[in-house]
Amino acid sequence: MGIRNFLIFAVLSIVVIVIVKSGNYFEGIDEAVNPPQVQAEATIQQPDNLEHKSDTKRKQPKGTIDVHDIVGKNLYFVEKLLGKCEESEEGNWKDVFGDGSEYKTVTCYFQNEKHSVMFHDGKAVRVRIGVPSDTFQFPDDAKEAMEYVGLTGIGKLEEVPTGVHTNKVDDFSIAEAGKWADYKGPYIQFVKVVFDERFR
pLDDT band at 63 (very low <50, low <70, confident <90, very high): confident
Give the sheet arrangement for strand 158-160, strand by strand.
Answer: 85-94, 102-110, 115-120, 123-130, 185-194, 174-182, 163-166, 158-160
Q: What is the pLDDT of residue 133?
A: 81
pLDDT mean over 167-173 = 85
Give CA–CA dist 87/139, Å, rounded. Answer: 30
Q: What is the pLDDT of residue 163?
A: 94
Least confident of 8-12, 72-76, 133-137: 8-12
Nearest to 170, CA basis, from 148, 199, 195: 195
Task: Please give the backbone phi and psi of residue 131, each rounded to the nearest 5 degrees, phi first.
Answer: -110, 160
